[in-house]
Amino acid sequence: MSQSTDVQPQMLPPTVFWRIAEDIPKRLTAILVILSLVMPICLWWIVSSWVATMPGTNSMFLPTPVQVLAAIQTLWSDGTLLKDIEFSMFRVLTGFFLAAVISIPLGTLMGTFASVRSLLEPIIGIIRYMPAPAFIPLLILYFGLDELPKILLIFIGTLFFNTLMIMDGVKFIPKELIETTYTLGGRRSQVLLQVIFPYLLPAIIDACRVNMAAAWNLVIVAELVAATEGLGKRISIAQRFLRTDEIFAGLIVIGLIGLGIDLLFRLLLRVSCRWATK
């Protein structure tokens, strides 16, 4: 008799924390989210308190969370922080909106039609490797120091990445959907507007969510170079006068605003594309 060579599949031990491609319990999710916020703050508090006790060091070298919170309250109470937030938000949202208005239809067309992709992808591929901050001298030279060069910097820095990410999203649309639409008598415009674009909408929202972070990076760079208001300018002024508590305050405010925008994009995805979030 020949010995059986069948190998029994090895069962993975049951686990909750290390589930692969599966959701974890909501209670565990809440605990991990709280830990992700509490642990860095505790570590920051311990290190900053330890640095303050070292001989020859200034407490402002690494301010404690309490000192940073006090700086935020001071900047908010005198209206400085609110004004800076308004200027930075205006620049980011305006520049990113203009980029989205162009990149969404352009990326959809490039992903749908190989002819459009062949025409535009080479030049876009070249420009996207040019660092957006390198355009600052030209933007200042052509448009001065007003709001336009800052908005254009965000526009340039997000337009091409957004376009290519949306273009790549078209690749994941099942061809069966397109072929079925043609079989049922659908026209080219119907395939584009009623099949491709709705299926692509989650990828569009994700691309915008990712590239919004780049928009914030660019506005801070622009404000560091040429601005009189904005969170980036506030950080630059604080660095000049060694106000590290205000530097930390500016960074934390930027992070909180970014988190809020990210959550709004996630909510938009959940509300508008429920079929994709199940």
Matching residue, tokens 């043609």? 182
Closest CA to 124 of 101, 97, 106, 145: 106
How far is it, in rounded angstroms, from Cα 195 to Cα 73?
A: 50
Tokens of 259: 């988190």
Whether residue 207 contacts residue 265, with contact meaning beta carbons closer than 8 Å, is answered with no
Q: What is the pTM of this model?
A: 0.82
Confidence at residue 1, expressed as pLDDT on a 0 to 100 scale? 47
Question: Which residue is it, tokens 């355009």?
Answer: 135
**What's the pLDDT tens digit per position in 200-251?**
899 999 999 999 999 998 988 888 877 788 898 899 888 888 889 999 999 9
Window from 5-9, 70-74, 148-152 with minimum mean pLDDT: 5-9
Contact 214, 161 (CB under 8 A): yes
Q: How many other CB atoms sit within 10 Å of the CB of residue 212?
A: 20
Domain parsing of the chain, residue ranges: 83-277
Q: What torsion, rounded to 10 degrees, do the Cα atoms 22, 26, 31, 34 define? A: 100
Which of 231, 200, 235, 238 is closest to 215 using CA atoms? 231
Q: Render pLDDT for 16-46 as a digit per residue (tens, 0 to 9).
A: 777 776 778 888 888 988 999 899 999 988 8
3-state secondary structure of 271: helix
As a whole number, mean pLDDT of residues 270-277 equals: 74
Considering the domain 83-277 in this protein, what is its CATH number? 1.10.3720.10
Cα(162)–Cα(95) distance, integer angstroms: 13
